[in-house]
């Protein structure tokens, strides 16, 4: 073998190795993005379930659950009342209207049967509900309280459930400022920040 063939083989091997490294680098980034997207989707699904449970708790008790245990107990044994609302409008003299609203309680259904049934959530486990997906057992940060609005004119119930350790590096910036969360500590909102 002459020197040209040896150098050609060496350069080909080096080019193949560098090509593999380039492909592997791109593939690793794509796979990591897929993993982050899957974990965030699972986290959002849990946050939506927790929001539904908090809204049902608030509708039944007049306030949000303040601990995981109270929310868990409500999910396992609480009930949601089925209420029918009917409105009747009566036309008065000179075009004015009188609206009468009636509420009729039709019955109740269990929270587990209504919100977390087998059809909606086939693999639902109430024990794992507060656990953030992909974190090895870390729980969501949980906050519920009352805040004053309009300089103490009235109080509103608020809650916030937040991911304490986001997997997405963009959400970790500024002390997890953009971490996935539902609700708000400072406003009567039940929206999630992923929308």
Angle ∠(158,162,166) on CA atoms, nearest 5: 165
Looking at residue 61, what is its pLDDT?
87
CB 72 within 8 A of CB 49: no
At 22 the three-state DSSP class reads helix
Looking at residue 102, what is its pLDDT?
92
Looking at residue 146, what is its pLDDT?
87
Please name which of 163, 19, 173, 142 lies closest in space to residue 69, comparing C-alpha atoms: 142
Say what the pTM is: 0.75
Spatial distance between the Cα atoms of 77 and 123, rounded to a whole number of angstroms? 19
One digit per residue, the tens of pLDDT, for the chain of length 195 reads: 688 888 888 888 888 888 888 888 887 778 888 888 888 888 889 999 999 999 999 988 888 998 888 999 998 888 888 888 999 998 888 878 888 999 888 888 888 888 888 888 888 888 888 888 888 888 898 888 888 877 777 888 899 998 888 877 777 777 777 788 898 888 888 888 887
Domain boundaries, the chain: 43-76+112-183
User: Phi and psi at residue 133, in whole multiples of 5°?
Assistant: -60, 135
């Amino acid at each position: 073998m002459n020197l040209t063939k040896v150098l050609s083989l060496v350069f080909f091997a080096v080019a193949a190795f560098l090509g593999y490294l380039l492909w592997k680098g791109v593939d690793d980034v794509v796979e990591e993005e897929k993993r982050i997207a899957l974990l965030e989707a699972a986290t959002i699904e849990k946050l939506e379930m927790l929001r539904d449970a908090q809204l049902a708790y608030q509708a039944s008790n007049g306030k949000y659950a303040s601990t995981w245990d109270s929310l868990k107990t409500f999910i396992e044994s609480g009930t949601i009342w089925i209420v029918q609302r009917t409105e009747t409008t009566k036309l008065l003299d000179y075009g004015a209207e009188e609206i009468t609203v009636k509420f009729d309680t039709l019955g109740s259904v269990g929270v587990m049967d209504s919100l977390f049934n087998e059809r909606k959530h086939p693999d639902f486990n109430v024990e794992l509900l507060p656990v953030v997906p992909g974190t090895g057992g870390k729980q969501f940060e949980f906050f519920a309280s009352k805040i004053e609005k309009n300089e103490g004119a009235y109080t509103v119930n608020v809650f916030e459930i937040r991911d304490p350790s986001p997997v997405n590096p963009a959400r970790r910036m500024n002390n997890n400022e953009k971490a996935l969360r539902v609700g708000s500590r400072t406003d009567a909102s039940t929206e999630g920040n992923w929308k």
